[in-house]
Structure 1
Amino acid sequence: MDIQPSTTRAIRAQDKTTNEHKSDYPTSKSIWVHQACNTKAILFYFSLICQKPILAGLAGYIFSDLITGVYHWSIDNYGDAKTPIFGSQIEGFQGHHEKPWIITRKHIATNLYELSQIITLIFLPINLICNNPILLAFVGSLSTGVLFCQQFHAWSHTTNNKLPTIVVALQDLGVLVSRSQHAAHHHALFNSNYCIVSGIWNNFLDEIRVFEAFEKVIFFWFGVKPRSWNELT
């Protein structure tokens, strides 16, 4: 279909008028206020998406500190070198009480290799079968805290001048267990400050004597004394 000359002239006239007056309408341009509002909206949207996984990750890290405390307490007080599966770790922790500086001389791979096997066996199946970002954030942070707890433990026995600045800063902020806090565990009875990720649980657990209560229940039901009781005699 042919376009009439009059129609063509009308279209050209409209385009010319639009171009001449385009600058008269500032709202047609993208100004910084618009861009800022769009950016704010996008960030708010992503914050809603990421908020729950971030909180789940934080919870996982906090919970990892509790898990290491319970595990540390159990192998410090029960079993021996002949205990199946855990014997080598029990023996290692008892030797650590006698020579706590040895852990600072070990390579990070040495400190982590046993835990890495356990973490892989327990948490890898969850990662493979689960698609929930909240659960994955919790499990990922939890497993990371548990995996690296022995290295955090080693750093708590290392003097500040031998530590990276970032590690010292994280210890001072309470993100990692500090040298001063963990030193309280290495008193004669070795019966406090068991948590070795951030140490955030230590004061609470020690003040209300959670582990002492566990020890009394175990002794009442099974007649087994914890090693910390034997230290008193």
Structure 2
Amino acid sequence: MSATPNDIPHDYDMSGSLWMRLVDASSMSVFFFFEYLLARDVYLHLDAAPSGLATWLLPLALVLGYITADFVSGFVHFLADNIGSTRTPFFGPVFIRPFREHHIDPLAITRHDFLEVNGANCLISLPVLIGTWYFVPIHGTGSLFFAAYIGLFLFGIFLTNQFHSWAHHPNPPGWIRRIQRTGLILGPEHHARHHTPPFNTYYCITSGWLNPLLARTRLFERLKEPLRRVLEPIAGKADEVGGVQE
């Protein structure tokens, strides 16, 4: 079945509306406010921690947080591509529709502004971010590491859609291409694997580091049917759009 942009009902397209711009702007503002609070707490406790702790704690939290962000980006991408309806109230147009639309028009993400590209990730991160800051006070090395890890993991999630957008940009600035070539962030050649039929692999879009491993183990393919049975009654039946199968 060939797909066109009309395959997704525009009645449910909230992107670009005044309401969504307010949601994106407020979500991003609150996200950065609590990221600052969490980072401040980590800094203050790190400064008072035993000498040498920062030499391993922050780098380890950074690496593990970034890898976790890559995995979560892939898992969410997999779910949004394969499970749930674009008609599901709020969640469908805000989180599912952009992924389905992306397979119809991969360059659409490059035409969205900074708020529209990154606002939804800020919104979905807030419960974890606020919960960590409020309910997990820093009292020792373990809680200090956890706070740093969560803060860096969620900052990686924040950057994910921006990296994804740059991977589709036809002519990104030279400094972005140089970073992409290092493999530190998602690159266009790597991400092209996902946009090759049957569109069922290389879902991770932060750095893409985990894509080869997940492709070899077929983890997402193995999870698809069990998750579909559990989530479809809640999220609705997947629309067949742009190569995304029911």
After TM superposition, list the pairs within 5 Å mapping 1:15-94 onto structure 2.
46-88=51-93, 89-94=95-100
Give the corresponding residue for 1:151. 162
Segments of 4+ in structure 1 off by > 3 A? 45-50, 216-228, 230-233
Name the aligned partner's letter for residue 120 of structure 1: L
Unpaired runs of 5+ residues, structure 1, are 1-44
Query: Is this contact kept in 2: 1:53–1:134, CA < 8 A?
Result: yes
TM-score by length of 1: 0.71
Q: Greater shift after overlay, 117-126 or 57-66?
A: 117-126
After TM superposition, list the pairs within 5 Å mapping 1:37-186 onto structure 2.
46-88=51-93, 89-129=95-135, 130-131=137-138, 132-159=143-170, 161-165=171-175, 167-186=176-195
Figure out how many residues of one structure are paired with residues of the other and give that number. 186
Name the aligned partner's letter for residue 68 of structure 2: F
**Percent of aligned positions that are identical:** 28
Distance in 1 of aligned mates of 2:111 and 2:229: 40
- Distance of aligned partners of 1:222 and 1:147 in 2 relative to their CA distance in 1, 3 Å threshold: closer
Shift of the alpha carbon at 1:124? Answer: 1.9
Distance in 2 of aligned mates of 1:47 and 1:137: 16
Cα RMSD of the aligned pairs, angstroms, is: 2.7
Query: Is this contact kept in 1: 2:82–2:244, CA < 8 A?
Result: no
The structure richer in helix per residue is 1
Shift of the alpha carbon at 1:46? Answer: 4.7
Unpaired runs of 5+ residues, structure 2, are 1-49
Q: Greater shift after overlay, 217-226 or 146-155?
A: 217-226
Distance in 1 of aligned mates of 2:232 and 2:68: 30
Give the corresponding residue for 1:207. 216
- Distance of aligned partners of 1:189 and 1:86 in 2 relative to their CA distance in 1, 3 Å threshold: farther
TM-score by length of 2: 0.67
Q: Secondary structure at the match of 1:184?
A: coil
